[in-house]
Homo-oligomer: A and B are copies of this chain.
Amino acid sequence: MTTIDASPLRGAERPGPRRQEVGAKIKEYILRNRLKPGDILPTEAELCEAVGASRSSVREAVKILSALDIVEVRHGHGTFVGRMSLAALVEGLTFRGLLSGEEDHHVLGQVVDVRQTLEQGLAAQVIAVLDSEHQAALSALADEMESLAAQGMDFLDVDRTFHVKLLEPLGNDLILQLTEAFWQVQAIVAPTLRTQQEDRLITAQRHRAIVHAVAAGNVEGLQAAIAEHYAPIRASIARVVQA
């Protein structure tokens, strides 16, 4: 028999809502079988039989797990173990930011705080583990940003790549994903405060200052450069609060 049981659960218990129970069992199944991202899971019908629940309950449970990127559903193909990204964090924080952004942008300000804290706090380690290869890559990205800014174009993708590359040598996946997540939140929420084009030019130049500080191996200089890099967005937020 292939019954999936998270816990022995004797006869008449009330383990909460059905979908929660089913979700727990699916997670148990993944753990017990040592499944990795991309591995396929049983079909809905099989899951129904295994956990003893109806399709509705199984579907709702799977949808919750897919929202957390613990599983990934591909229409007409099957259900697979997800890549466990921080997409849920992005969506949740983005919505909070949009909701708060109707008046002030205090959530956006907090996101900027966290980004700056993380990057400044990691400044010493970044300099310690930096190799010439990454340094060259960062420099090239700064060039590209300045070029795009000069043409009045936005450089969102380049900016995102820059901040990821900056922390990549640390070898900490979680920090990288958090960085990208907060970047995405800012990128989605920030446009509600229409930043001037001047700010973009300044921001581009501030990335070069970061590269210089990294190359010089100056920890305090890097921290200062990071702080100045976030100054324009902070000013934009403050501007809205006053108005």
Q: Which residues of A contact B (CB under 8 A)?
A: 17, 19, 27, 30-31, 34, 56, 59-60, 63-64, 66-70, 75, 84, 86, 88-89, 91-93, 95-96, 98-99, 102, 107, 110-111, 113-114, 117-118, 120-122, 172-175, 178
For A69, the chain B residues whose CB sits under 8 A away are 92
Contact flag A88-B92 (CB < 8 Å), given A30-B99, A113-B175, A174-B111: yes
Q: Is the CB of A67 within 8 A of B88?
A: yes
Q: How far is the CB of A71 from chain B (nearest CB, A)?
A: 10
For A114, the chain B residues whose CB sits under 8 A away are 118, 172, 174-175, 178
The 9 closest A-B pairs by CB, nearest first: A121-B121, A110-B174, A88-B88, A67-B67, A117-B121, A64-B67, A68-B92, A60-B63, A89-B89
Q: How far is the CB of A24 from chain B (nearest CB, A)?
A: 11
> In the docked arrangement, what's the CA distance between A34 and B118, Å?
32
Copies in the complex: 2
> In the docked arrangement, what's the CA distance between A173 and B30, Å?
34
> In the docked arrangement, what's the CA distance between A98 and B63, Å?
21
Nearest neighbor of A122 in chain B, beta-carbon distance: B117
Q: Is the CB of A86 within 8 A of B92?
A: yes
Give 18 A-B pairs besides A68-B92, A114-B172 with Cβ atoms closer than 8 angstroms.
A17-B75, A34-B102, A56-B56, A60-B63, A68-B91, A84-B92, A84-B96, A86-B92, A107-B174, A110-B172, A110-B173, A110-B174, A111-B174, A113-B172, A113-B174, A114-B175, A114-B178, A121-B121
